[in-house]
Structure 1
Amino acid sequence: MVDKMIGAARAATVAAPPLGNEAYERFCTGLARRLTTEWPRICAANDVDVGRAREAGLPAVLVDRLRLTDDHLADLVTLTSTVAGEMRELTRRPPGTPIGDWGVRHRVPRPLGVVLMIFEARPTVTVEGALLNAAAGNAVILRGGKEIARTNAALGAAVTAALADAGLPAGLVTVLDDPSRSLLRDLLRRPDAIDVLIPRGSPSLIDYCHRASTIPVLASGGGVNHLYVHRSAELAQAVAIALDSKLPAPAGCTSLEIALVDRPVADEFVAALLDGARQDGRPLTIRVGEGLRQPETTGQWRVEALAEHDLGREFLDSTVGVVAVDSPDEAVEFIQRHGSGHSEAIAATDPVVTGEFTDRVDAATIVINGSLRLNDGPTLELGSEIAISTSRLHARGPITLAALVNYCWVIEANGRLREAS
């Protein structure tokens, strides 16, 4: 099964037309049409997955990540149009660059090859991974979590139909209908045939991929993110940043886990954060570190003690920790020890402090006086993304269409020979 699947993917990379061919734009528009037509059937499959996840006792915040709505359809249809435009821009051939008086060099985009993308809960990732990779000329094998197996099968059928409509080889996109670990292990053992591995999910998934495979990895996941609140910060702004970094998407990869607050303003920050959550109306649990007061709370807003095992992990719910620190150095050291290199933020008005923080913190994206959720390809006007990479090679930060290609040099040499040295 694995040999046949990989063989079809590699054959598709050979049979696919060059980047910039109109077939890729036809695929984008055709996918929008197929998703719209098939949406009732896709949602019916999704209802089954969501119901079974709820019966299995999956936490409510994770069940919500599985669910598809009409808003998701609208977003995906918009994405197909956006990617088509980005593809035209990416493949536009500018004039070459002169080389001395003898030639011209051209930097030409080329597909990465065969991509294996592994992800967990969100079914929209199936469409995003198929769309961006196929538009970049890559063959992609998509392996989602077992919780969304039926949804993925329905989405995969729509993608396959859109490829056929566009005249592109079917092997450009394979949506696995077998989420077993044994099949995944077999795929991870094929660096001879798979060019890039993109795992999107928990730190344990990323770690497993690194240990089990020698395929080059663009890792995406492990969002153990922090906000450092310096004593010079505007407190109301810092609270707003913390709430926006947590409440809209508590289980998202850019979600805030721990706020590190200068000790003189830490108790005031906790009280203001609690008040802000009450005004917002969404539930919030604040876990405070040693030495901080615990205000009395009722209902869906709670203040509890922070435990040692809370450090360096994703809560994956509407829980945020608050730890008092005595200096920017202590905050940076805490992040170096517990952060995952994904998204970090600082709230401060002292430019010296923000400068030292951005110089010393090692993360894919560092935000000054803003929400962690700004770490997003479209929001940063970088383009559509399929993930946020914490890898150090090739792409770091949002993995956009431009990160799903590589480049070769085409040289117009006009008979030029290399002189002997």
Structure 2
Amino acid sequence: MVEQLVSNARRAFETSPPVGDPAYARYCHVLSRLLTQEWAAILQANADDLNEAKRRGLASVLVERLRMGESQLRHLVALTEKVASELPAATASTQWASVDDWGALRRVPKPLGVVFMVYEARPTVTVEGALIPVVVGNAVLLRGGKEMAATDAALADIVRRALLEAGLPESMVTIVSDPDRLVLRELLKRHDAIDVLIPRGSPSLIEHCRSASSIPVIASGGGVNHIYVHDSADLKRAAEVALDSKLAEPTACNTVELILVDAQVADDFVKHLIEMGNLENGPLTLRLGGGLQAQDRGNVSVQPLGEHDLGREFLDATLGVLPVSGLDEAVAHIRHYGSKHTEGIISNEAAAIDRFVALVDAAAVVINGSLRLHDGPTLGLGSEISISTGRLHVRGSVTLKALLTYSWVVDAKGALRADRSTSCQL
């Protein structure tokens, strides 16, 4: 089975149109239309997955990850149209540039190759994975959580139809439906046929993929993120930023998990956090450490912060607060527990901000704002398949351009290296 999967994907990649071909924009538009036309069937399949998840006692937060509705359709339709609009700029070759007096040079975009995405049970990621890497000429193998098997089957049929109608090889997208872990293990070993591995999800998923595979990895996810509240901060505004960084989508990879706050202002900050938390619609759990104490109030419940909470993604409306002695202790904590995704500082002191930015290693460092701003479209970087926490070859938003490599095209006009006697000789 694995051999057939990778050989079909490889063949699709090798026979696909070149980067920038009109078929890719056509695929965007066809996929948008078919998603809209077949949404009722997708929702029916999704309902089957939701019922099975509830029957198995899956946690409510994981059930909500599975759910598809009108908001997801609007998101996916908008994404297909946005990606189509971004294609011309993302896939353009550079202009010819003269090389001394003998030739010309330009850079031409090329696909990365066969991309293998491994992710958890989020059906929207299946569509994103079938769209963003593919429109720049890559073939993709998609392996999501077994909890969305029925939804994925419905989506696979729509994607296949869209590819064929657009004039693209149908094996450019393969949804790996077999839940057997042996299939995953075998695919992770196929560095001979798979060019890039994109694990998108929890730190444990990413680490498993890294350790089990020699395929180059674009690690995406693992959102153990922090906000450091400096003693110069406007504490009310800091509380607003913290809640905005958490409550809109508590399971997202760019949400905050732990607030590190200067000890001398920690009590006042917690008061603001509870006050602002009671203005929100849903419940909020605060876990307080370092001797901080507060009482339950309204929809805000208070619990102690345990050692096991450090370096943890809560995946719900839970927020930790830990007092620190200052910026250096905050940075040390982030270096030890952070996942290098998104970190933030709230401060009115320029020197503290500059030091924090210089010392903290993350894909994004947000100053005086919500961590949820770290998102390709929000930052004007373009549509993204994920946010990379690694250093090579991309960090931050994995946009269309990040899913391309390049060839240098040299028009030598008959020139010989022997004629370039002044060049450096190796």
- TM-score normalised by the chain length of structure 1: 0.98
CA distance in 1, matches of 2:222, 2:79: 25
Q: CA deviation at 1:102?
A: 1.6
SS in 2 for 1:388: strand
Report the counterpart of residue 190 of structure 2 in structure 1.
190
Q: CA deviation at 1:179?
A: 2.2
**Matches for 1:389-408 after TM superposition, within 5 Å:** 389-408=388-407
**Matches for 1:118-267 after TM superposition, within 5 Å:** 118-267=118-267
CA distance in 2, matches of 1:42, 1:58: 21
**Matches for 1:262-301 after TM superposition, within 5 Å:** 262-293=262-293, 295-298=294-297, 300-301=299-300
Report the counterpart of residue 330 of structure 1 in structure 2.
329
Residues 100-122 of structure 1, C-alpha deviations (whole Å, 9 max, x = no match): 12211111110000000000021
Residues 370-411 of structure 1, C-alpha deviations (whole Å, 9 max, x = no match): 111111010011000111111110111111111111111001
CA distance in 1, matches of 2:174, 2:374: 29
Report the counterpart of residue 313 of structure 2 in structure 1.
314
Report the counterpart of residue 411 of structure 1 in structure 2.
410
Which runs of 5 or more residues in structure 1 are unaligned?
A: none
Q: 1:299 to 1:47 in 2, by over 3 A?
A: farther
SS in 2 for 1:246: coil
SS in 1 for 2:142: strand
SS in 1 for 2:335: helix
Report the counterpart of residue 379 of structure 1 in structure 2.
378
Q: CA deviation at 1:134?
A: 1.0
CA distance in 1, matches of 2:266, 2:98: 59
Q: CA deviation at 1:367?
A: 0.3
Q: Runs in 1 of length 4+ with deviation above 3 angstroms?
A: none
**Amino acid in structure 1 at the alignment position of 2:59:** P
Report the counterpart of residue 88 of structure 2 in structure 1.
88
CA distance in 2, matches of 1:230, 1:298: 25
Report the counterpart of residue 346 of structure 1 in structure 2.
345
**Cα contact 2:225–2:342 (8 A) shared by 1:** yes
**Amino acid in structure 2 at the alignment position of 1:23:** A
- TM-score normalised by the chain length of structure 2: 0.97
SS in 2 for 1:410: strand
Q: CA deviation at 1:298?
A: 4.5
Q: CA deviation at 1:281?
A: 2.2
SS in 2 for 1:279: coil
Q: CA deviation at 1:38?
A: 1.1
**Amino acid in structure 2 at the alignment position of 1:159:** V
Identity of aligned residues (%): 54
Q: CA deviation at 1:98?
A: 1.6
**Amino acid in structure 2 at the alignment position of 1:367:** V
**Cα contact 2:225–2:339 (8 A) shared by 1:** yes
**Amino acid in structure 2 at the alignment position of 1:262:** D
Report the counterpart of residue 359 of structure 1 in structure 2.
358
Task: Count residues with an aligned counterpart.
Answer: 420
Report the counterpart of residue 29 of structure 1 in structure 2.
29
Residues 64-116 of structure 1, C-alpha deviations (whole Å, 9 max, x = no match): 11101111111111111111111111122342222112211111110000000
**Amino acid in structure 2 at the alignment position of 1:33:** R
**Amino acid in structure 2 at the alignment position of 1:177:** S
SS in 2 for 1:260: strand
Which runs of 5 or more residues in structure 2 are unaligned?
A: none
SS in 1 for 2:227: strand
Report the counterpart of residue 112 of structure 1 in structure 2.
112
Q: CA deviation at 1:242?
A: 0.2
**Amino acid in structure 2 at the alignment position of 1:164:** L
Q: CA deviation at 1:299?
A: 5.3
SS in 1 for 2:345: strand
